[in-house]
Amino acid sequence: MSVLHSSPLFRSILSGVLLGLAFPQVLGGIAGVIVFVAFVPLLFVIADSGTKHTRWRLIGQLYITFVIFHGLTNWWVCSWQEQTDPYLFASGFALWFGHPFFLMLPFVALASIRKRLGVAWMLLCTPLAISGFEWLHGQTDASYPWLTTGYTLVHTPFAQIADTVGVYGLSFLISVVNAIIVYVLLKKRSGDVARRQILIVAALVLMWGLMGLYKQLTPTGSGGTINVMLVQPNEDPWEKWGDAHEQVAAHQELVDSARKAGHAVDLVVWSETAIPYTIREPQSKPEWEELRKWTDTSEISLITGYADVMVYPIGQAPPSSRQSKVDRSIRFDIFNAVMMINPHQSDVSVHRKSMLTPFAERLPFADQLTFAMSWIEWGVGISSWGKGQTRNPLPVVKGADTIATVGAIICIESIYPEVARDLVNNGADVLCIITNDAWYNRTWGPEQHYDIARMRAIEQRRSIVRCANSGITGFIQPDGTDLPHPAIAPLTKGVATDRVQRVLTRTVYSVVGDPIPIFGLIFTLVALIAARFPLFLRNLPFRFTSIENKVL
C-alpha cells in the first residue's frame, strides 16, 4: 500500500515503527539510514490534516507515532529484572506514556503552521522545528533527550559531521531529507515530477556521506597518550549499597592482580558510585586514609565515583538542600560525584553530577517544589541527590607534571552534548564516562547508552574511556569507533588496559555549539505566532504569507 494513498492511522503507525527500527540496538549498524524516510508518513498526515482531520484526531495520531517509537526503543527503562524496585518499574511505564507528549510538540507546531500558512511553510519549518524542539527538550531539569533523532546515524559515516553541527544538527539534516522527499511525493500526487528536488536530495545525501567518510579517514591530531585501566566489578545494583567496604577492597584486588600481571598504568577508573558512601567524611577517616595509602604506594591516579557531601555557608544553601538533624542551622547536600586521587597529592579534584535523572535521582525543579521531594524517594539510597553547578576537568598528575586533563561525565550526563562540550572548552583532552547501567542488564539500555557516548566522542573528537559497573565498559576513539583491543565482556568481572590518545584541539562544534537548533526554535516560534495571530505579521520585517502557489 503506497504511503500516498494509505490511511492516516497507518501512516502514524508506520512512522513510529520506522523511527524505532532506525534507533541503535533495534536493528543495529547502518540500519539507521532508515531515518531518512522515517518522518515521511507522519509529515503526510500533517500535510493532509487541513481537510481530513479534526484537531484531536490529529493529536491522537501524533501520539500513536511516538508511543510506538518510545516503546520500541526505550521499553527497557522499566528494568524487567526480578529485584526491580516497584518505583523504577512504574516510572518506566510513566515515561513510556508521558514522554510522547514532549516528542510530538514540534509536529503539533507544524500542524498549526500547515493549517494557517499552508503545506509549503510547514515543510520549510520541518527541519527547523524538529531540531529546535529536540534541543529545547534537553535544557531543563525534566529533560530526557535520549531519543534525539541524530543518534540513529551513529554507526554510519553520516555521523562524522557531528564535529561541526552536533547531534541536533544531524537531526536538522535528517529532517531536511525527509521534507524534500515529502515535497517530491506531493508533486507526484498532483501529476508533476520534481526532478530538481530529487537531484537536490540525492546530492545532499551523497555529499554528506562523502564528507563523513573523509572525516572518518582523517587522523585526529594527538597530544600524546596515557595508559588507562578500567575496572568492571559486576556488582548487583540493588545489593551494592549494603557492604560498601567490601566493594572497595574488591576493586583494589582487581587492580593489584592486573598490575602484578605486568599492566603498566597511569590512570585507573572505577565506575559510578563504586564507593557508595561518604568516604571523605570524618566518620570514614580510617577507610579514607587506607585508600590514599593504596594510591600512594601503587603510584597510580584513581578516578572513582562516590557520594560527596557539601556543607553550605550560612545563607547560601539552595531551597532543596538537606537540613541537619543535630543543628538545624546547618544545610548540606549529598552529591553523586567523581573524584580524582593523585598519588602523593593532598588536593582531591571533584566533579559533582550536574544533570540528574529526572525523578529517579532528583525531583525536577526541586528548588521550586521542595514540598514534593519526599514523594519520589525509593529504596536503594540514590534519590534526592544534590545538583552540581560546575563542569571542570580533573588533572592526572605524575610527579610534578600534569600528564592529562580528564573531563568526567557521570551516567546520564553523557546524553547531554553541553556537558562534554563544557568540559572540553574548560581544557579536557580526554573524556571519561562512569556509569552504573546494571539496573538494565540483559536489555538494550546499556548498549544504547554506549552508542550515545560514541556521538560525544565524534562531536568533540576526544577519546572516551567508559567504565560501567557491569558493562558496557570500553575505549572509544575520537571517530566514535572502539579501540581494536577487546574490552571487558558485559556481565563479567575484570579489567581492561589500553593506551588512550589525548587530543588538544577543539572542533567547530566545541567552539560554536548549537546555533542551528536555536535558530530553528526561534524561527518556528515566530512562524507559529504568525499563524495564530495574523495581526503579528504587520510588524515583521518580512512577509509571512503563503507560498503554496509558488512551490506546490
Residue 357 lies in a domain: yes
Q: Would you say residue 96 has pLDDT above 70? A: yes
SS (H, E, C) 528-545: HHHHHCHHHHHHCCCCCC
- Where does a domain end: 468, 484, 504? 504
How far apart CA 216 and CA 220 sit, in angstroms, is: 9
Residue 2 lies in a domain: no
- Where does a domain end: 504, 524, 541? 504
- The verdict on 205 and 234 lying in the same domain is no
Output phi, psi for 104, to 5 deg.
-85, -5
Residue 1 lies in a domain: no
- The verdict on 174 and 279 lying in the same domain is no
How far apart CA 33 and CA 509 sit, in angstroms, is: 23
- The verdict on 282 and 378 lying in the same domain is yes
Task: Calculate the CA 325 to chain-centre distance.
Answer: 37
**For residue 471, what pLDDT band results from cuts at 50, 70 and 90?**
confident
- The verdict on 274 and 307 lying in the same domain is yes
Q: What is the mean pLDDT of residues 256-273?
A: 92
How far apart CA 297 and CA 533 sit, in angstroms, is: 71
Output phi, psi for 198, to 5 deg.
-60, -45
* 184 contact partners, CB below 8 Å, separation of at least 6: 194, 197, 198, 201
Sign, CA torsion 15/16/21/23: positive
**Residue with C-alpha cell 580510617?**
286
**For residue 483, what pLDDT band results from cuts at 50, 70 and 90?**
confident
Q: Say which residue, 332 or 16, is predicted with more confidence.
A: 16
- The verdict on 94 and 168 lying in the same domain is yes
Q: Would you say residue 350 has pLDDT above 90? A: yes
SS (H, E, C) 4-70: CCCCHHHHHHHHHHHHHHHCCCCCCHHHHHHHHHHCHHHHHHHHCHHHHCCHHHHHHHHHHHHHHHH
Neighbouring-strand partners of residue 341: 302
How far apart CA 535 and CA 308 sit, in angstroms, is: 55
Measured CA to CA in angstroms, residue 448 lies from 23, 65, 175, 437, 494 at distances of 9, 21, 22, 11, 22
- Please report the pLDDT score of residue 513 as a whole number: 96
pTM summary value? 0.93
Q: Whole domain around residue 103: which residue ranges?
A: 8-218+513-551
- Where does a domain end: 504, 528, 543? 504
CB of 419 closer than 8 Å to CB of 411 = no
- The verdict on 264 and 290 lying in the same domain is yes
How far apart CA 433 and CA 465 sit, in angstroms, is: 6
**DSSP string over 69-131:** HHHHHHGGGG---TT--HHHHHHHHHHHHHHHHHHTHHHHHHHHHHHHH-HHHHHHHHHHHHH
- The verdict on 251 and 333 lying in the same domain is yes
Residue 262 lies in a domain: yes
- The verdict on 99 and 232 lying in the same domain is no
DSSP 3-state of 472: coil
- What is the C-alpha radius of gyration for the chain, rounded to an integer number of angstroms? 25
Q: Say which residue, 502 or 237, is predicted with more confidence.
A: 502
Taking only the tens place, the pLDDT of each residue in 24-41 is 988 878 899 999 999 999
**Exposure b/e, 291-315, CB count within 10 A at least 16 = b:** bbebbeebebbbbbbbbbebeeeee
Residue 450 lies in a domain: yes
Residue 236 lies in a domain: yes
Q: Say which residue, 513 or 320, is predicted with more confidence.
A: 513
Query: Mean pLDDT across the chain, nearest whole number?
Result: 90
- The verdict on 311 and 399 lying in the same domain is yes
> Which has the closest alpha carbon to 457: 138, 143, 151?
151
Taking only the tens place, the pLDDT of each residue in 361-401 is 887 777 777 766 666 665 555 567 899 999 999 999 998 89
- The verdict on 90 and 212 lying in the same domain is yes
**Residue with C-alpha cell 551513529?**
154
Residue 348 lies in a domain: yes
Residue 3 lies in a domain: no
- Please report the pLDDT score of residue 220 as a whole number: 82
The CATH number assigned to the domain holding 338 equals: 3.60.110.10
Domain count of the chain?
A: 2
Neighbouring-strand partners of residue 309: 334
Neighbouring-strand partners of residue 338: 305, 351
Q: Would you say residue 538 has pLDDT above 90? A: no
Q: What angle separates helix 162-189 from helix 40-47, to the nearest 10 degrees?
A: 50
- The verdict on 350 and 470 lying in the same domain is yes
Q: Say which residue, 144 or 380, is predicted with more confidence.
A: 144
- The verdict on 392 and 496 lying in the same domain is yes
Q: Would you say residue 510 has pLDDT above 80? A: yes
